[in-house]
Structure 1
């Protein structure tokens, strides 16, 4: 998988988790453009109240995800993932609250995972993934994040 090797504890990122990460960070993976990542169903409409953009995932890409975390009071955690120091962990329930029920439900449907399992895996994976995507403490543009998922 390249960029994401060793990004999560245990080193393995399952296909459902990659779909979930893509849903959050890369909108193209949601639209069905990537056939291997799309579930064999018609793409569902974007949930109301989400800030989806053409190639920025359900929340508008990595920047949108970090903004959601900051808005929910987890800015210090999000900043630790982007910065060059130690990554702080986030509780699955805190992540769920930050993302919102519509986003969690949408991703759970696309991955076939139950919502609690999804949140548990995302809360474990996101610190390392965001850290890998921001090696110099800079948030990449959406197309740069998308290219990481295509490698």
Structure 2
């Protein structure tokens, strides 16, 4: 997946991590179908966000991070400057246990390993998805994730 090859330290993104990122940012990757089946296959614990991802897409993810006190970190990923890192435990608290359990179940990854990989990958992936400081629409995200 060319867009994300340099998004994480060490090179390309593994398939389970790509599924996890898709689950957070797009949502369709969880169910493999349209948004109507997504509601049953992947309940949205963060307020029923049905238009992309478990948290309502990239914008919902950024809002979740801001609500948890990591707004400056999230903003650094969207902005054009240096990306700030996020601790795996801080990311887990921001996302919430339901979201982590859901993604871990879908990817087959251990929750701690999932958080470790997501905390490493998210700054670079969000940076790549927002090259001009603009959060892309759901359709733009879906096309990037191959849906």
Same fold (TM over 0.5): yes
Superimposed CA distance per residue, residues 38-82 of structure 1 (whole angstroms, 9 cap, x where no aligned partner): xxxxx744154444314x110000000000000000000000000
How many residues matched?
142
TM-score (norm 2): 0.91
For structure 1, the residue ranges without an aligned partner over 5 or more in a row are 35-42
Q: Who is 2:37 aligned against?
A: none
Where does residue 67 of structure 2 map in the other structure?
71
* Higher normalized helix content (fraction of residues): 2
Instruction: In structure 2, list runs of 5 or more residues that go unmatched.
Output: 35-39
1:88 aligned partner: 84
Q: Secondary structure, in 3 states, of the residue corresponding to 2:53?
A: coil
Contact 2:8 / 2:120 at 8 angstroms: preserved in 1?
A: yes
- The CA distance in 1 between the partners of 2:5 and 2:42, in whole Å, is 31
Instruction: Report the TM-score, using the length of structure 1 for normalisation.
Output: 0.89
Contact residue 27 and residue 52 of structure 1 kept, 8 A: no
